[in-house]
Chain A
Amino acid sequence: GESVGLHLPTLSVQEGDNSIINCAYSNSASDYFIWYKQESGKGPQFIIDIRSNMDKRQGQRVTVLLNKTVKHLSLQIAATQPGDSAVYFCAEKTLWGAGGTSYGKLTFGQGTILTVHP
């Protein structure tokens, strides 16, 4: 079956360092891959997404890389700050199925805990 999973459950970095969070996926039919950030006691917050026909997308301090050959997704955070400490989830979304049905659900990975030390 389809699944989205993470290589590393925890990541500790020093403030100012760059962080890289990895994710493996198995559903090659996914249309989009998305990164969410979840702080303690809050719901997940959208960070950035990348369409399956792209291999790189940049946002503010974040870059997502997609390697479809090895079904690997990564989130790079530049100059990591203590406020970046959270759990990061990758997720995938398949938009269209048989008969033109639009699918709604996101399939999430297990999550990586990022801790940034001042």
Chain B
Amino acid sequence: GAGVSQSPSNKVTEKGKDVELRCDPISGHTALYWYRQSLGQGLEFLIYFQGNSAPDKSGLPSDRFSAERTGGSVSTLTIQRTQQEDSAVYLCASSQRTGSIEQFFGPGTRLTVL
């Protein structure tokens, strides 16, 4: 079956612009996660959703970052007034439920802020 998909695969934007990153989780997976991976670094947790609610937003680095999930499926991560330090690969993952150990990752969106 289809895995987690993300779009766009690459996004180049100018400093100060807003961007939206999209994640389509595996069908039926109730839990969805966003992580950020900077060059040569590990993955940094941003936010996770259980259904449409976000019990843990503790990883969002600033109020310029927000995310929503609708219909218990697609999620959008929005970064407003992008800064150069926002440049990274943004990864989305999903799992059957919050307590599931295995998270299935998408290929990521590489964001470059000029």
Which A residues are closer than 8 A to B by beta carbons? Answer: 32, 34, 41-46, 49, 89, 91, 93, 95, 101-111
Contact = CB atoms under 8 A, between A and B. Distances in A.
B95 to A, nearest CB: 8
Contacts of B31: 104
Contacts of A95: 99
Does more than half of chain A's interface fall in helix, strand or loop, or is it mixed? loop
Given A49-B101, A93-B101, A103-B98, A110 B91 contact: no
B62 to A, nearest CB: 18
Contacts, number: 60
Interface residues of B, number: 27
Interface in B46-101: 48, 50, 55-56, 59, 91, 93, 95, 98-99, 101
Contact of A106 (B45, B99, B108): B45
A43 B42 contact: no
B26 interface: no
B103 interface: yes
Contacts of A41: 107
A103 B56 CA distance: 8
A104 to B, nearest CB: 4
B99 A46 contact: no
Q: For the complex, would chain B's binding face be called helix, strand, loop or mixed by DSSP majority?
A: strand
Contact of A32 (B48, B55, B95, B101): B101
A12 to B, nearest CB: 17
Given A41-B107, A43-B108, A105-B56, A111 B42 contact: yes
A43 B110 CA distance: 11
